[in-house]
Amino acid sequence: MIFYRIRRAVALGSLILLCILRYGLRRVRGPLTMQERALWLHGTCRQVMARAGIAIEVEGRPPTRGLVVSNHLTYLDIPIYSAAMPCFFVSKAEVDRWPVFGAAARSGGTIFLDRSSMASANAVAALIAERLDLPVPVLLFPEATSTDGAEVRPFHSRLIHPAVEEGAPITAAAIRYAVQGGIDEREVCWFGDQKFLPNLWKLLGMNGISAQICFGEPQIYAHRRIAAAETHAAVTAMREAGVMALK
């Protein structure tokens, strides 16, 4: 089992590094637009998820603009959503310092948020507002943390506000996981005080992981708190329907 995990880790790491190298070579011809960076990350994540053997099922229509709000279970949510559709992410600032993953996130146009800084929150809100004009959606995890999937925590509305203010469509989305052999979804999640590398090492030993994403219909909201409450209810309902379907 340990050699199997090592082989998977080496294969995935090599593929990610190769994709980053290709990105660097593409930049030699000139800077990429933000849309091109999102498309690069989309293609890269499709390759990485296929190499990892993680199947992705999508229900509903992935949006092509506006804001997407989703529950958050693990760092895997990011490459899985990006494999499902081109998008920009809002991520915690710590990811920017992660080896390999940080470089990939930066290259794909991820917006990094320092959760302890009001100035950072204001700057991120301004960047979200700018990106809403592009034909690529911004994806936000308004729980502000990853969870074990037992419940969808209340959504923070601050970073939903730019979409409300701009009159941009907001789409609720739910993600869930299933693992071959009836392994509980909680085993895939990365939450609490779990360390990144031990969790990744565990996942490398799992076979038959599948991710299921459900997209709701885009909506325009008049107030950020209403948007947060209604999208939270929609995500919770989609999660509950999906979990029941897996049993």
Read off the pLDDT band of 243 (50, 70, 90): low
- DSSP character string of 53-122: T-EEEEESPPPSSSEEEE----TTHHHHHHHHS--EEEEEGGGGGSTTHHHHHHHTTPEEE-TT-HHHHH
Residue 170's pLDDT is 98
When comparing pLDDT for 46 and 102, which is higher? 46
134-161 pLDDT tens trace: 999 999 999 999 999 999 999 999 999 9
pLDDT (mean) for 45-53: 91
Q: What is the helix (H) or strand (E) element at residue 246, kind and residue range?
A: helix 224-246
Q: Is the pLDDT of residue 167 over 90?
A: yes
Q: Residue 240 is part of which domain span?
A: 2-246
Give the total number of structural domains in the chain. 1
Q: What is the mean pLDDT of residues 165-189?
A: 95
Dihedrals φ, ψ of 76, to 5°? -65, -25
Residue 28 CA to residue 4 CA, distance in Å, equals 37
d(CA 234, CA 216): 8
Q: What 3-state class would DSSP assign to 146?
A: coil
pLDDT of 117 strictly over 70: yes
CATH number at residue 155: 3.40.1130
